[in-house]
Amino acid sequence: MTVARTLFEFDDSYARELPSLSVPWTAAEVPAPRLLVLNEGLAAELGVDPALLREPAGVSSLVGHGLPEGVTTVAQVYAGHQFGGYQPRLGDGRALLLGEVIDTAGRRRDLHLKGSGRTPFSRRGDGLAAVGPMLREYLMGEAMHGLGIPTTRALSVVATGVPVPRDGTALPGAVLCRVAASHLRVGTFQYAANLRETAAGDLDVLRGLADHAIARHHPDAGSYLEFYRRVVHVQAELVARWMLVGFVHGVMNTDNMTISGETIDYGPCAFLDAFDPAAVFSSIDSGGRYAYANQPPVAQWNLARLAESLLPLIDPDTEKAVAAATAVLEEFPDAYRRHWEEGMAAKLGLTTPDPQLASDVLELLRGQGVDLTLFFRALAAGTARDLFVDPAPFDAWARRRDALLPADRTAVAAAMDRVNPVYVPRNHLVEEALTAATAGDLAPFHKLLDVVGAPFDERPGLAEYAQPAPDGAPPHVTYCGT
């Protein structure tokens, strides 16, 4: 008797319900697939035995081949504002949606490939991805997950054996398999809204998309306006969480902003070392549009684009729709501030937010170039003063904070250590690990992955992982679309 050993059981509600928002497409052949890293915990969450995924048939499925009969993989179409300029047709240029899996907790999750070859949306791109950037996405997603911040996560990275030409050299190619609550983006709504203006003139696609998104993410939202409000609020919380840990996404185009509230598309992202509101890491962001401190207003700008797309669903009377959507959009700054203030209170060990105290300390960090992550752990440990070249202003600030602290200082320090990470993916360590991995040595990558996956537990022997780049290191630059 043979025992059926199934891998994934895919549903295809997106492709089925919204046929005009994707095209059936097949992943490129992979001549020599080699599994580089598998997320065993995530596989288990998806209800799949990790051992099966390591077998040849499993590895094949992780690059989009040998899927069960009847599974149609699709390339999704979307539009988006890229650095403020509207692109009416982007879409999965090097990616495919394999399908949806209901996980062991009953949640519907997308499985999606990145680096799976050209599609009708590739434009001038080659459809490929290199090992380094795909491992980077894997690592960053796991770090965010470890920090408790909503994020897409990688299930696997498989080396393809296909060389990927980049900047005059050939890099080893890879396919990432990504798990997301969905791949519905602000840009998906922009595309659907635009269809109405250019084609049939009816609202069917847009309404279908909104109904799909509501059913999937906000089933209790009773109206399109309420759905919009939910998205505004999940994004306000998400961006506040980024800011609290010093995360710079780097390319907050509307096609890289989810409806679910998960962080998506780890391209040129980075974590701050020295606190600097103007920090920009991406080589292509010369204007600083996506600088650290610009992230909240950019998120709100993106949400305004979502509102514009939803207007005809919100009210047939455009003026009324604009008024209603604007009122909801204006909830963003308050919602953001509330999450940020509460988050800062927890980071500082306070029971009640003190926004002035919070912004004053950040100004001290900025003025003296103090490392954001080191500071909050040192504050709990009572050693923060040593991080300042000129400690006097810090001492004055610390006296103000002391007056507000609860009596049990041991409990305060323990609570702070539960929200302030020791380990974030330090840029120089990420680069070292990826360089080694590209050359064939995955040990530093696995080590770093292990460290950042449990960011709040200080462990012996890992002191170097808690430190910023040594003085005199060149500024960190990240590259997009690689």
Of the pair 80, 353, the CB lying nearest ligand AMP is at 80
To the query of whether residue 315 is one of the catalytic residues in this protein, the response is: no
Of the pair 142, 265, the CB lying nearest Mg ion is at 265
Question: Please, what is the minimum distance in Å from the beta carbon of residue 82 to ligand AMP?
Answer: 7
Chain residue whose CB lies nearest ligand AMP: 125
| Catalytic hit among 92, 110, 255, 371 | 255
The burial class, CB within 10 Å (0-12 / 13-18 / 19+), for 340 is buried
Q: Choose the contact partner of 480 out of ligand AMP, Mg ion, none; CB within 5 to 8 A by kind.
A: ligand AMP
Mask for 258-297, x = binds ligand AMP (CB under 6 A): -------x-x------------------------------
Distance CA 312, CA 142 (A): 38
Pick one of 53, 62, 79, 95: the residue that binds ligand AMP (CB under 6 A).
95
Of the pair 265, 371, the CB lying nearest ligand AMP is at 265
Q: DSSP code of 153?
A: E
Distance CA 455, CA 462 (A): 11
Cα–Cα distances in Å, from 179 out to 31, 284, 402, 417, 433? 24, 27, 44, 29, 23
- Using the structure block, give the residue that is written with the tokens 């979502």: 306
- Residue 131 interacts with ligand AMP (CB under 6 A)? no
Specify whether the CB–CB gap between 275 and 365 falls below 8 A: yes
127 annotated as a binding-site residue? yes
For the chain, the maximum distance between any two Cα atoms, rounded to a whole number of angstroms, is 77
Part in contact with ligand AMP (CB under 6 A); list of ranges 61-69, 117-125, 284-292, 405-413: 117-125
List 295's β-bridge partners, or say none: none
Q: How many residues can be counted in the chain? A: 482
Question: Please, what is the minimum distance in Å from the beta carbon of residue 92 to ligand AMP?
Answer: 5
265 annotated as a binding-site residue? yes
Distance CA 39, CA 45 (A): 10
Q: DSSP code of 157?
A: E
Q: How far apart are the first and last CA of the chain?
A: 48
Of the pair 92, 110, the CB lying nearest ligand AMP is at 92
Q: Choose the contact partner of 367 out of ligand AMP, Mg ion, none; CB within 5 to 8 A by kind.
A: none
Of the pair 94, 377, the CB lying nearest ligand AMP is at 94
178 annotated as a binding-site residue? yes
Nearest Cα to 206, choosing from 219, 220, 195?
195
Nearest Cα to 135, choosing from 151, 116, 115?
115
- Residue 117 interacts with ligand AMP (CB under 6 A)? no
185 annotated as a binding-site residue? yes
Number of residues that bind ligand AMP (CB under 6 A): 19
Specify whether the CB–CB gap between 192 and 203 falls below 8 A: no
Q: Choose the contact partner of 267 out of ligand AMP, Mg ion, none; CB within 5 to 8 A by kind.
A: ligand AMP
What residue type is assigned to position 214 of the chain?
Answer: I
Pick one of 56, 84, 165, 481: the residue that binds ligand AMP (CB under 6 A).
481
Part in contact with ligand AMP (CB under 6 A); list of ranges 121-129, 170-178, 235-243, 371-379: 121-129
CA 334, 336, 342, 348 dihedral sign is negative
Question: Please, what is the minimum distance in Å from the beta carbon of residue 136 to Mg ion?
Answer: 14
- Quote the tokens at residue 476: 């960190």
- Quote the tokens at residue 307: 């509102």
Distance CA 223, CA 210 (A): 10
Q: Choose the contact partner of 122 out of Mg ion, ligand AMP, none; CB within 5 to 8 A by kind.
A: ligand AMP
Specify the DSSP element, H or E, that contains 178. strand 169-180
Of the pair 420, 478, the CB lying nearest ligand AMP is at 478
The separation between CA 466 and the C-alpha centre of its own chain, rounded to angstroms, equals 22
- Quote the tokens at residue 234: 């999940």
347 annotated as a binding-site residue? no
- Using the structure block, give the residue that is written with the tokens 């047939």: 316
Pick one of 19, 125, 165, 382: the residue that binds ligand AMP (CB under 6 A).
125
- Residue 92 interacts with ligand AMP (CB under 6 A)? yes
Question: Please, what is the minimum distance in Å from the beta carbon of residue 188 to ligand AMP?
Answer: 12
Distance CA 137, CA 153 (A): 8
Specify whether the CB–CB gap between 95 and 112 falls below 8 A: yes
Part in contact with ligand AMP (CB under 6 A); list of ranges 12-20, 118-126, 205-213, 323-331: 118-126
Q: Which amino acids are annotated as binding site, given as ranges?
A: 91, 93-94, 114, 126-127, 178, 185, 256, 265
Query: Residues interacting with ligand AMP, by CB under 6 A?
Result: 90-95, 121-122, 125-128, 251, 253, 256, 265, 267, 480-481
Residues of the binding site for Mg(2+): 256, 265
Catalytic residues: 255
What residues are designated binding site for ATP? Answer: 91, 93-94, 114, 126-127, 178, 185, 265
